[in-house]
């Protein structure tokens, strides 16, 4: 087993999840089973292969250009309210679980 109970606890902490005891044991079982399956990737020798984060830099762009020049069409003026107006204050706050007229409200951040 590659993933231990300790790993599950650590990863849950990184992911900002608490998880119940039951969820943790389910996670232990599922992560191990999925990662066992993922291990078949090691059958492939990829030492000379470049990683690929996304497809946009290879297709639909002018291949004769280099680097960010390929995406010159996506450049825009660095101005306030360039593409669209910012949301009005009230609209930006309307979905907040807790807010006053100015700010999002959250529980105390600094504990003493």
Which residues in this chain contact other proteins in the complex, by CB under 8 A? Answer: 3, 7-8, 10-12, 14-19, 23, 26-27, 30-31, 33-35, 37-44, 46, 49-56, 58-61, 71, 73-74, 76, 83-84, 87, 91-92, 94-98, 104, 106-109, 111
Given the complex with other proteins, which of 76 and 81 has the nearer CB atom?
Answer: 76
Please state the closest distance from residue 20 (CB atom) to other proteins, in A. Answer: 8
Please state the closest distance from residue 21 (CB atom) to other proteins, in A. Answer: 13
Distance CA 106, CA 97 (A): 9
Distance CA 57, CA 71 (A): 8
CB atoms within 10 A of CB 91: 9
Given the complex with other proteins, which of 46 and 102 has the nearer CB atom?
Answer: 46
- What is residue 104's three-state secondary structure? strand
Helices H / strands E in the chain, number of each = 3, 0
Question: Is the separation of the CB atoms in 57 and 49 below 8 Å?
Answer: no
Please state the closest distance from residue 88 (CB atom) to other proteins, in A. Answer: 9
- What is residue 95's three-state secondary structure? coil
Please state the closest distance from residue 53 (CB atom) to other proteins, in A. Answer: 6
């Amino acid at each position: 087993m590659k993933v231990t109970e300790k790993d599950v606890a650590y990863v849950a902490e990184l992911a900002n999840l608490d998880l119940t005891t039951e969820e943790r044991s389910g996670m232990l079982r599922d992560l191990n089973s999925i990662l066992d399956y993922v291990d078949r990737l090691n059958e492939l020798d990829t030492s000379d292969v470049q990683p690929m984060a996304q497809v946009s830099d290879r297709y639909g762009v002018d291949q004769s250009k280099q680097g960010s020049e390929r995406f010159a069409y996506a450049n825009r003026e660095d101005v306030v309210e360039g593409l669209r107006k910012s949301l009005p204050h009230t609209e930006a706050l309307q979905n907040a679980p807790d807010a006053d007229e100015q700010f999002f409200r959250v529980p105390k951040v600094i504990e003493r």
